Amino acid sequence: MKVKKKRKTGYILLVLAAVLLGLLIQGALGYFRYRQETQDAMLLLEELGGQARTAAESELSLRAAQWAEAEPRLAALPAERRNAPQEGNPELLMLVNPWNPLPEGYEPEIEFVYRLQGRDYWLDTRCVADFKLMMNDCRASGAQPYLCSAHRTWEKQEQLFNEKIRKLVWEEHYDWENAPAVAAQTVAVPGTSEHQLGLAVDIIDWEHPYLDEEQENTRSQIWLMEHCWDYGFILRYPNGTTEFTGIIYEPWHYRYVGQPYAQEIHRMGLTLEEYLTLRQGR
């Protein structure tokens, strides 16, 4: 009886060992299949990504040619307004507008500000502290401001500009030849956007989260327009100044220039273009 019992136990152990070995083999095979399928999927994604990049680059090349052919906006403006002097001015006063592109290879030193609704926002390190203080004080006044755009890479600015062109063509029925010039009135051509400096912010109000002129009547903008210069910011594109700035009225767009300059620009009631021209004449 003991011998039979031992044999039975041995058979059970042998069966269990065989089952365990089978499971191990099956698991190993499954792992290798998973790994192969993953590699195949990655190769496919890389191939598709390459095709998408090639298509995007072709489209951007076409758009770039159209920008170059488009008639310059506001070409009749006096030269001193289009190209305010840069030489001798601090970097915080760097002028970026339709006639003054970013210096070639310019890369600001940026710092993470915060994450909101799944997006990360970054700004030039020199303005982060003043920006946070300004926003906190604005909220303390009872307003509800929030940042909707900060530093943009060249690629991001290209994306926004091309989206605007497509919208003009497909939704508003502009032709491809004229659409870039029209788009540039509201979305800066890549290389001419202050957002690429890392010193510009678009701030809107939770109660009116739209980039339109009604933004000026929100509690956030009323407070910011009255106090932004105390924190080194200016309302960059005031109402009625398009002939100097080349940009429409934007009651949500603020530019950091540092407190001394912001207070002087506000006191004089000038645009940055006019202020830089005035500084050159001193």
User: What residues act catalytically?
Assistant: 250
Neighbours of 224 (CB within 10 A): 26
Closest to 200 in 3D by CA, of 261, 132, 253, 133: 253
d(CA 86, CA 160): 27
Going from the C-alpha of 225 to that of each of 125, 216, 238, 266, the distances in angstroms are 23, 9, 10, 10
**What are φ and ψ of residue 234, in 5° steps?**
-130, 150
Closest to 263 in 3D by CA, of 238, 236, 221, 228: 228
The token pair that represents 50 in the structure block: 């390459």
H helix count then E strand count, the chain: 9, 6
Half-sphere exposure of 85 (CA within 13 A, CB side): 12
- Degrees, nearest 5: CA angle 184-187-192: 75
